[in-house]
């Protein structure tokens, strides 16, 4: 038995006119239903609400850029998208449940655990949870920005074995196929580094908010949490099974880190937004990276941001490199006069590979 989170991108769930691509949904639903009958637990993360909504109300006009209008359009498209998923899974005798999440559901630890309980309860009922961001009411300042990141966070919530990102490309390629016909598929990745990120461009479809860069970011989040990740094409009769089959030449597989983060540390590292930054000296860098120590006040050179005790901050080294992230124990204005322990080691997550 495997526990999977499957994310389907906008360019895959919609057709060239912006309408819902019923064939893609049908193939995914059939594949997911068959795997569930085999014992797998699967959560689906779907994009496409804004594009589907604009196909209904846009009347041939250019898609708006104003966030207020986009949120309204998503309110039109979300029920349309869910109805299409309901029909696709209904043909397989499987019920679906809509779960709309926002970053606030991850920032608060209690809400985070409540989301986990809801997803677990849906699975116990035999219902496929279909997750999307709550675009209609999400504040632009605190949106996920793309559903790849949301899917990685959901994979952490449900303690998934594998995150599958279904998209309109064969996987991660060695270059941009729009510019060079000689690009090839990168079949396996052990670490998402700067060289790999340089290969990623923006969304090639023009309808999604992600693109390969966001998928690499999601893969890094998931693999650091111990979750294997696969980027694979959505348009196939059995796209999920094919993605996780291990068949050579099918998608790009990102191997999980051997020492994956615990659920709480992954929550600190990736689910909670940073409210500020701490700049530390070389001594503090050595202490937290090589000796597992807490970050002490004496090791902090300066700070940025108006953070409060209990909020997350980035920890940056002497060369402004991102070193860690943690929950700070003092308010910003008390940083150099409060507790000697600024970030306790139990609340500190190292973010550099190695």
**Residue 104 sits in a domain of what CATH number?**
3.40.1160.10
Statement to judge: residues 200 and 136 lie in one domain? yes
pLDDT tops 90 at residue 302: yes
Backbone angles phi, psi at 292, to 5 degrees: 65, 30
List the CATH number of the domain containing 310: 2.30.130.10
What does pLDDT average to over the chain?
Answer: 89
Tell me: do 171 and 135 sit in the same domain: yes
Same domain, 222 and 136: yes
pLDDT at 244 over 90: yes
Give the model confidence (pLDDT) of 256-268 as tens digits.
988 778 878 888 9
| Range scoring the smallest mean pLDDT among 15-19, 102-106, 177-181, 207-211 | 207-211
Q: Are residues 21 and 166 in the same domain?
A: yes
CA distance 252 to 190: 11
Is the domain of 249 the same as that of 308?
no
Q: Indicate whether 8 pLDDT > 50.
A: yes
Instruction: Look at residues 118, 149, 121, 114 and name the one whose alpha carbon lies nearest to residue 133.
Output: 149
Measured in residues, the chain has a length of 354
Domain stop point among 216, 235, 263? 263
Is 138 in the same domain as 199? yes
Last residue of a domain, one of 263, 285, 304: 263
* Judgement on whether residues 7 and 138 belong to the same structural domain of the protein: yes
User: What span, in angstroms and rounded, lies between the C-alpha atoms of 337 and 151?
Assistant: 40
Range of the domain at 292: 273-350
- The count of other CB atoms within 10 Å of the CB of residue 266 is 24
Going by their DSSP bridges, the two strands 228-233 and 252-254 should be labelled as: antiparallel
Q: Is 32 helix (H, G, I), strand (E, B) or coil?
A: helix
pLDDT of residue 108: 83
Same domain? 101 vs 178: yes
> Per mean pLDDT, which range of 10-19, 203-212, 261-270, 311-320 is the poorest?
203-212
Do 132 and 179 fall into the same domain? yes
State the total domains in the chain: 2
pLDDT, tens digit, 9 for 90 and up, residues 22-55: 999 999 999 999 999 999 999 999 998 888 899 8
Residues 19 and 129 reside in one and the same domain = yes
Same domain, 65 and 117: yes
In a domain, 31, yes or no: yes
pLDDT given for residue 19 in this prediction = 87
Of the three residues 228, 263, 298, the one that is the final residue of a domain is 263
Which one, of 326, 328, 323, 327, lies nearest residue 351 by Cα? 323
Phi/psi of residue 289, each to 5°? -85, -35
Contact 133, 48 (CB under 8 A): no
Question: Does the residue 268 lie in any domain?
Answer: no
Q: Under a CB-based contact definition with an 8 Å cutoff, are residues 182 and 132 in contact?
A: no
Q: Are residues 293 and 255 in the same domain?
A: no
């Amino acid at each position: 038995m495997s526990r999977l989170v499957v994310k389907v991108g906008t360019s895959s769930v919609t057709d060239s006119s912006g309408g819902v691509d019923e064939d893609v949904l049908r193939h995914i639903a059939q594949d997911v239903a068959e795997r569930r009958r085999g014992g797998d637990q699967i959560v689906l993360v779907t994009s496409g609400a804004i594009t589907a909504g604009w196909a209904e109300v846009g009347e041939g006009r250019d898609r708006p850029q104003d966030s207020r209008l986009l949120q309204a359009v998503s309110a039109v498209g979300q029920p349309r998208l869910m109805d299409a998923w309901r029909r696709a899974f209904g043909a397989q005798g499987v019920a679906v449940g809509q779960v709309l999440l926002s970053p606030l559901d991850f920032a608060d630890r209690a809400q985070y655990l409540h989301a986990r309980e809801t997803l677990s309860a849906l699975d116990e009922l035999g219902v496929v949870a279909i997750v999307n961001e709550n675009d209609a009411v999400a504040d632009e300042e605190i949106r996920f920005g793309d559903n790849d990141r949301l899917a990685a966070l959901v994979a952490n919530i449900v303690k998934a074995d594998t995150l599958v990102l279904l998209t309109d490309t064969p996987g991660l390629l060695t270059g941009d196929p729009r510019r060079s016909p000689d690009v090839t598929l990168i079949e396996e990745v052990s670490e998402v580094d700067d060289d790999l990120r340089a290969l990623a461009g923006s969304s090639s479809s023009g309808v999604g908010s992600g693109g390969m860069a966001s998928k690499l970011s999601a893969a890094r989040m998931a693999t650091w949490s111990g979750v294997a990740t696969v980027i694979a094409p959505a348009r196939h009769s059995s796209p999920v099974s094919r993605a996780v089959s291990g068949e050579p030449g099918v998608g790009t597989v990102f191997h999980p880190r051997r020492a994956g983060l615990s659920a709480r540390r992954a929550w600190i590292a990736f689910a909670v937004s940073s409210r500020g930054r701490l700049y530390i000296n070389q001594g503090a860098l050595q202490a937290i990276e090589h000796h597992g120590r807490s970050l002490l006040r004496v090791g902090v050179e300066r700070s940025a941001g108006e953070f409060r005790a209990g909020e997350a901050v980035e920890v940056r080294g002497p060369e402004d490199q991102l070193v860690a992230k943690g929950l700070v124990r003092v308010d910003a204005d008390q940083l150099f006069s409060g507790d000697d322990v600024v970030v306790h080691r139990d609340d500190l997550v190292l973010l550099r590979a190695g």
